[in-house]
């Protein structure tokens, strides 16, 4: 269902509020540049700073503006099972293609607790689910064995894997089947992830360099490994620069450089990137050929 370059979209804010016009323009640009899907209201979209109403207004606008041109995977996770159910049902109501759902964060449940969390969500809503395994943020890791148990549910169709553990790709492929959609959650590892059976990447870098990220994915898909490697080399410094300071600060800073007028506003506790981080982003943008002379 999902493949290629799928940006985890930043959410533009202006004067403290969601900037719908900027978001609609941003979505059109992403699709025109070759992005093969969109993820609104993930971590990069500052979902943790949004109310339920605002969160799903952003999702609504994304689905509406995409207009069926590409699939939309809406961020739906919560550490409260009932809230996650509410989120997934709302995403379905708004026409999202799937929901991106993390295991409970902060609570630190057992593997049985993680399984039962997802089991309850699945029983309450049949919208397809992409598991989002990001232990560095949730302190909660979906074990391969738990993923295998969840795979028996038809609505569990894939995973955004941000464990940075390359062994997991083959282990999950063996446990969940070759048709289980594995998407890299770490831009800098995506080339290796694809080589081991991954289908694409839910990307931070694609916010800033959508065409290059899409061309990289397309080169790999057609078997042009030399071109894929060359594009990976071109993008690699940018992958690191996107995390030179707390994300999505560097991504929003970079967007003000490649899309003049894009609102770079962040919500606390996220802050504007440091001068040192800005230097790294500028250098990476130059290396990728994304800055005008």
Residues annotated as part of the active site: 132, 160
The secondary element (H helix, E strand) that includes residue 219 is helix 210-221
Tokens of 47: 């979902």
Distance between CA atoms of 216 and 224, rounded to whole angstroms?
9
Q: Is 266 exposed, middle or buried (0-12, 13-18, 19+ CB in 10 A)?
A: buried
Residue found by looking up tokens 């057609």 in the block: 222
Distance between CA atoms of 190 and 25, rounded to whole angstroms?
27
Q: Contact at 8 Å (CB) between 207 and 253?
A: no
Q: Is 136 exposed, middle or buried (0-12, 13-18, 19+ CB in 10 A)?
A: exposed
Q: Contact at 8 Å (CB) between 105 and 67?
A: no
The secondary element (H helix, E strand) that includes residue 99 is strand 98-101
Distance between CA atoms of 222 and 194, rounded to whole angstroms?
12
Distance of CA 269 to the CA centre of its chain: 20
Distance between CA atoms of 283 and 84, rounded to whole angstroms?
40
Enumerate long-range contacts of 190-195, CB under 8 Å, 24 or more apart: 190/216, 190/232, 191/216, 191/220, 191/228, 191/229, 191/232, 192/166, 193/161, 193/166, 193/169, 194/220, 194/228
């Amino acid at each position: 269902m999902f493949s290629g370059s799928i940006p985890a979209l930043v959410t533009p804010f202006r004067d403290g509020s969601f900037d719908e016009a900027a978001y609609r323009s941003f979505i059109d640009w992403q699709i025109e540049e070759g992005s093969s899907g969109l993820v609104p209201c993930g971590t990069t979209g500052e979902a943790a700073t949004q109310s339920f109403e605002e969160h799903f207004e952003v999702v609504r606008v994304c689905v509406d503006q995409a207009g069926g041109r590409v699939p939309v995977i809406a961020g739906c996770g919560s550490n409260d099972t009932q809230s996650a159910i509410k989120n997934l049902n709302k995403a379905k109501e708004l026409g999202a293609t799937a929901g991106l759902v993390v295991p409970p964060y902060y609570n630190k449940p057992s593997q049985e607790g993680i399984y039962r969390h997802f089991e309850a969500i699945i029983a309450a809503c049949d919208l397809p689910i992409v598991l989002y395994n990001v232990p560095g943020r949730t302190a909660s890791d979906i074990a391969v064995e738990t993923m295998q148990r969840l795979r028996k549910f038809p609505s569990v169709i894939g995973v955004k894997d941000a464990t940075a553990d390359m062994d997991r790709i083959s282990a999950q492929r063996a446990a969940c089947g070759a048709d289980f959609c594995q998407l890299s959650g770490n831009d800098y590892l995506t080339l290796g992830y694809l080589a081991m059976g991954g289908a694409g990447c839910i990307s931070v870098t694609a916010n800033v360099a959508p065409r290059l990220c899409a061309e990289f994915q397309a080169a790999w898909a057609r078997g042009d490994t030399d071109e894929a490697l060359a594009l990976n080399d071109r993008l690699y410094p940018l992958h690191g620069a996107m995390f030179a300071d707390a994300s999505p600060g560097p991504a929003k800073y970079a967007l003000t450089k490649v899309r003049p007028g894009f609102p770079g506003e962040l919500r606390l506790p996220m802050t504007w990137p440091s001068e040192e981080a800005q230097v790294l982003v500028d250098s990476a943008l130059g290396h990728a050929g994304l800055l005008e002379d």
